[in-house]
């Protein structure tokens, strides 16, 4: 994963710094630069790219510092608890501690391949596929608004 993404990220970085030339519709030479703004992944890919525990493990939430609970062979993130949101400083600290001690710290295994290319909190949005396309949002709206519940 790291080798593949490193190559792509290096190409994007070069396109951001140097850019490429093109002729506009009036025949004028222009320079276009490319910048990576967001990284959108499903939960499994997000864990690999961020070099962290998957969603079904302790501290597996990429958004907050909820350790979750393990019950009946399942890892659950229960509502009603208030946990701190992840910060870039916290992620960088966990990456450094994890690599120096050879341990997983707050769900972080080590430095992400995206480190230095993207803001690891603000530029990685929630998982659209699971939250919207697979019906979680619809289920939540039904749960919140249907008189049956």
114-141 confidence digits (pLDDT tens): 999 999 999 998 777 667 766 677 878 8
pTM of the prediction?
A: 0.75
Could you tell me if 56 and 1 lie in one domain?
no
H runs (alpha helix) in 30-128? 43-50, 88-101, 128
CB 118 within 8 A of CB 46: no
Given a cut of 90, whether residue 76 has pLDDT beyond it is no
Do 29 and 47 fall within a single domain?
no
Same domain, yes or no, for 121 and 141? yes
- Please tell me whether residues 124 and 96 are part of one structural domain: yes
Q: What is the pLDDT of residues 25-61, one digit of tens each?
A: 999 999 999 999 999 888 889 999 999 999 889 999 8
69: three-class secondary structure by DSSP: strand
Q: What's the domain count of the chain?
A: 2
Distance between CA atoms of residues 137 and 117, nearest Å: 30
């Amino acid at each position: 994963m790291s080798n593949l993404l490193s190559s792509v990220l290096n190409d994007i970085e070069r396109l951001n710094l140097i850019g490429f030339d093109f002729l506009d519709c009036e025949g004028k030479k222009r320079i276009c630069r490319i910048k990576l703004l967001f990284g959108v992944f499903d939960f499994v890919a997000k864990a690999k790219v961020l070099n962290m525990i998957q969603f079904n493990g302790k501290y597996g939430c990429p958004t907050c510092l909820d350790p979750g609970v393990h019950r009946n062979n399942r890892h659950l993130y229960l509502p009603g608890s208030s946990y701190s949101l992840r910060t870039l400083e916290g992620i960088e600290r966990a990456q450094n501690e994890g690599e120096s001690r050879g341990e997983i710290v707050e769900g972080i295994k080590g430095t992400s391949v995206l480190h230095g290319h993207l803001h690891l909190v603000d530029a990685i949005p929630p998982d659209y596929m699971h939250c919207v396309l697979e019906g979680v949002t619809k289920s939540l709206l039904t749960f919140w608004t249907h008189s049956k519940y």
